């Protein structure tokens, strides 16, 4: 995140009273100001939702995703990750961000984790970066995330990545 002070502007909006009431309630629950919550919502829309629509990304409820992913064998999960690699994750990322670099990928990855409501920690070390993701979808989803991120790291020429796959979580560390 940029530590420098960002320039801001004021904007007056008219919102439906029902929407504003829901926004106020959510800001209270999250213990953030309406202004901060509105900025988060707009940022998510600009960074992820709008470009995701243009890139052909759809959102699938966990209640549908879990039985689908659980019905696959591990080799099928690896094959799907390979197909995703060959048929466009780079193009998808370029469509969403106009750049293909580790920092852009991580920013989009963080946005995706946030909107998917997956709990995660991103820890930056002196020469490394570690993610710990608690998704609750099962080991096969962990395998899929591991394989996709392994391809991204490999394609960017980053060596020394390590992964830890568990039933409801996946973690990985990359050397920078």
d(CA 93, CA 101): 9
Query: Are residues 121 and 172 in contact, defined by beta-carbon separation less than 8 angstroms?
Result: no
Q: H helices then E strands: how many in the chain?
A: 8, 4
Distance, in Å, from the CA atom of 176 to the CA atom of 94, rounded to the nearest integer, reads: 22
What residues form DSSP beta bridges with 171? 132, 164
* 157, 70: one domain: yes
Q: Is residue 77 part of a domain?
A: yes
Position 4 in a domain: no
What would the pLDDT profile of 101-155 be if each residue is shown by its tens digit?
788 778 878 877 877 788 999 999 888 999 999 998 999 999 998 998 888 888 8
Q: What angle do CA 76, 82, 86 make, to 5 degrees?
A: 145
In a domain, 78, yes or no: yes
Q: pLDDT (tens digit, 9 = 90+) per residue, 81-100?
A: 888 887 766 677 666 667 77
Residue 11 belongs to some domain of the structure: no
Together in a domain, 89 and 162: yes
What CATH number did the domain enclosing 82 receive?
Answer: 3.90.1520.10
- Please give the tally of structural domains in the chain: 2
How far is residue 95 CA from its own chain's centroid? 15
Range of the domain at 41: 17-54
Question: What was the pLDDT predicted at 3?
Answer: 57
154 and 82 housed in the same domain: yes
Query: Is residue 28, in this structure, part of any structural domain at all?
Result: yes
User: What's the pLDDT band for 52 if we cut at 50, 70, 90?
Assistant: confident
- pLDDT, tens digit, 9 for 90 and up, residues 19-49: 999 999 999 999 999 999 999 889 888 877 7
Statement to judge: residues 68 and 38 lie in one domain: no
Residues 46-70 have a mean pLDDT of 83
Query: Does residue 7 belong to any structural domain of this protein?
Result: no
Q: What is the pLDDT of residue 132?
A: 95
Residue 99 and residue 146 share a domain: yes
Task: Let me know if residue 6 belongs to a domain.
Answer: no
Domain for residue 171, yes or no? yes
Sign of the CA dihedral 52, 129, 114, 2?
negative
């Amino acid at each position: 995140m940029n530590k420098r002070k960002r320039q801001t502007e004021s904007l007056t909006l008219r919102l439906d009273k029902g929407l504003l009431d829901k926004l106020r309630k959510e800001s209270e629950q999250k213990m953030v100001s309406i202004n901060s919550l509105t900025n988060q919502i707009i940022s998510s829309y600009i960074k992820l939702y709008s470009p995701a629509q243009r890139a052909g990304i759809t959102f699938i409820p966990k209640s549908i995703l879990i039985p689908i992913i659980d019905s696959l064998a591990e080799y099928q999960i690896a094959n799907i990750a390979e197909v995703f690699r060959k048929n466009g994750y780079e193009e998808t990322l370029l469509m969403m961000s106009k750049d293909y670099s580790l920092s852009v990928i991580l920013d989009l990855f963080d946005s995706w984790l946030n909107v998917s409501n997956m709990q995660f920690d991103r820890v930056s070390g002196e020469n490394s970066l570690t993610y710990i993701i608690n998704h609750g979808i099962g080991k096969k989803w962990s395998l899929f995330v591991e394989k996709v991120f392994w391809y991204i790291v490999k394609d960017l020429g980053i060596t020394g990545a390590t992964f830890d796959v568990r039933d409801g979580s996946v973690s990985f560390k990359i050397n920078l």
